[in-house]
Structure formats: structure tokens, C-alpha cells
Amino acid sequence: MSNESVIINPEIIEKKISSLNSFQKGLTDFFEEVSALTHFTIHFFKEVFLPPYEWKEFLKQSFLIGYKSMPLVGITGFIMGLVLTIQARPTMSTFGAESWIPAMVAVSIVREIGPVITALIFAGKVGSGIGAELASMKVTEQIDAMEVSGTNPFNYIVVTRIAAATIMLPLLVIIGDAIGLCGSYLGVNIQGDVSFHLFFLQVFGKLDFSDVMPAVIKTFFFGFAVGLIGCYKGYNANKGTEGVGKAANAAVVFASLLVFIIDMIAVQLTSLFN
């Protein structure tokens, strides 16, 4: 009888082992991905400072990445400011602090919401766009063709796009913030009456350098992350047309995740320095 209790169902063991194996595989895949991404990043820093510099392509990409994202960033920024202001009113009025709304909204937009929301939109539009474009260039052998014709494709395609994304996102965030504040001005005036002059007096009275600077600095990292992940996923896409969709999708997911992680680190660092 005592024997029975030690009999173990082989099926259960098999299941346990296979789940352990898949966990192990997941872990190895994760570290392989991290190592590949690290190499990709190092490759970028090696090439970015070395000639030849592809200025023309860099400017073209800056235009496509930056200028073409402006309408989307503008609209979301405006709605963000407007909604935030309208939502803040009930709470603020219980404390009789309606006059603080502009300052409060301005601080939250400039410090946190503006950069993060814009970066997420940027990841969705530009990150996926770069991912899909590079993946399809890979699938249709355009990257090979470039290499064969004596142009370094990493330098021409990847470096220019990452650089453009790094420089364009901070500009977009500034524009988004500004339009967000205009949205907020409208929100304030839906139920109250504050002159444009007074509104911005309150806004800039409360915003100081220590709000603006860390926020601007982190947007460079957001832009870099979006460009890097888009390029990495596209450049390493699998052959075949399904590789294109996968690359675009993975680019958005990982870039958005990275934006949050960088934001978390940035917040910790800023509070450390203040």
C-alpha cells in the first residue's frame, strides 16, 4: 500500500518538464534579444560619429518623421490640455482653488503627460512606420542591393533614422505642450473667464527651469528609443511578408514599453537631484 503513494504520474512530470523547458527557452530568447539589441546599439554609436555622414537622408528623414507627425501630435496635445483642465475643475473647486488650474495643468503637461503621450503616439506612428519600412526593404532585398552598390546600409538607413527620431521627438513634444496649453486655455474659459494674458502669466509663474529641463532631456531618450527599436526590429525582420507586419507590431510594443521604463528611471533620477 505504501508503494502507491510514491507512484507519480509520468504525464504530470512530462508537463512540468516541458513547462520548465519553455520557461528556459523564453529566458534564453529574452537574453539573446537583449544582447542582439545591445550590439545593434553599439553598432549605431560606432557609425554615428564616423564619416561618411548622410546629411541629405538625415534631413529627409527628419522631415518625414518630424513634420509629418505634427498634425497628430497637435490634435492629441490640444485634446489632452482641454480634457485635463475640464476634469480638474470639480476637484479644484471643492478647495476653492480654481485659480490654480492653469498652473497645475501646465506643470502636469510639461513635466509628465506631454512627453509621455507624445512619445507613445510617436512610437505608434513613427516606430511602426520605421519597422515596417525596414522590414520590407529587407524582404525585397533592397538592403542587400545597397550593400552591393558600395553604400553601407546601416549608416544610410539606420543611423539617419535613429538620429532623426532622437532630434525630432523633443521638438514635437515642445509643440505638443504648447498646443496642450492652448487647449487648457480653452478649457478654463468654457466655465470661467480668464484672459489669455493672465492665463499664461499663471502658467509661466509656476513653471520653472527644474520642471522644464528634465522633461526636455528625457524626450531625447524617448526619441532615441523609438528610433532604435523601430530600426532594430525592421533590420532584423524575418524573410517573408509576414515578417513586415510582425516587425511593425513588435516595434510599437517594445518602443512603448521602453518609453515607460525610461520615464520611470527619469523620474527617479530627477527626484534624486532635486
Partner 1 sequence: MENIVVEIEHLKKYFGNNKVLEDISFKLEKGKNLVVLGKSGSGKSVLIKCLVGLIKPDAGKIILLGKNIADLDEKGMNELRKKIGFLFQSAALYDSMTVRENLEFPLRDNKELKKVERENLVKEALKNVGLEEVIDEMPSELSGGMRKRVGLARTIILKPEIILYDEPTTGLDPITSKEISQLILAIQKKFNTAAIIITHDIECARITANSLMIIKDGKSAIEGSFEEVSQSKDKWIHSFFE
Is 53 an interacting residue with respect to partner 1 (CB under 8 A)?
Answer: no
In eight-state DSSP terms, residue 149 is T
Q: Is 54 helix (H, G, I), strand (E, B) or coil?
A: coil
Binding residues among 105-134 for partner 1 as defined by CB under 8 A: 133
CB of 168 to partner 1, least distance (A): 18
Separation of alpha carbons 188 and 49, rounded Å? 48
Binding test (CB under 8 A) with partner 1, winner from 50, 145, 261, 269: 145
CB of 29 to partner 1, least distance (A): 17
Q: Is 269 helix (H, G, I), strand (E, B) or coil?
A: helix
Is 236 an interacting residue with respect to partner 1 (CB under 8 A)?
Answer: no
Q: Which is nearer to partner 1, 9 or 149 (CB)?
A: 149
Binding residues among 12-41 for partner 1 as defined by CB under 8 A: none
Binding test (CB under 8 A) with partner 1, winner from 14, 32, 33, 144: 144
Handedness of CA 265, 270, 271, 273 (dihedral sign): positive
Q: Is the peptide bond before 71 cis (omega within 30 degrees of 0)?
A: no
Interface region with partner 1, contact rule CB under 8 A, candidates 43-51, 103-111, 135-143, 181-189: 135-143
Is residue 151 left, alpha or beta, with left meaning phi > 0 and alpha meaning psi from -120 to 50?
beta
Separation of alpha carbons 236 and 226, rounded Å? 16
Binding test (CB under 8 A) with partner 1, winner from 151, 189, 236, 270: 151
Is 142 an interacting residue with respect to partner 1 (CB under 8 A)?
Answer: yes
Q: Which is nearer to partner 1, 149 or 271 (CB)?
A: 149
Residue 121 cell numbers, joined: 503616439
Size of the site for partner 1 (CB under 8 A): 14
What does the buried/exposed string (b/e) look like for 5-34 if buried means 16 or more CB atoms within 10 Å of the residue's CB?
eeeeeeeeeeeeeeeeeeeeeeeeeeeeee
Q: Which is nearer to partner 1, 136 or 249 (CB)?
A: 136
CB of 147 to partner 1, least distance (A): 6
Separation of alpha carbons 184 and 52, rounded Å? 46
Separation of alpha carbons 207 and 180, rounded Å? 15
Q: Which is nearer to partner 1, 52 or 205 (CB)?
A: 52
Q: Which residues bind partner 1 (CB under 8 A)?
A: 133, 136-137, 140-142, 144-151
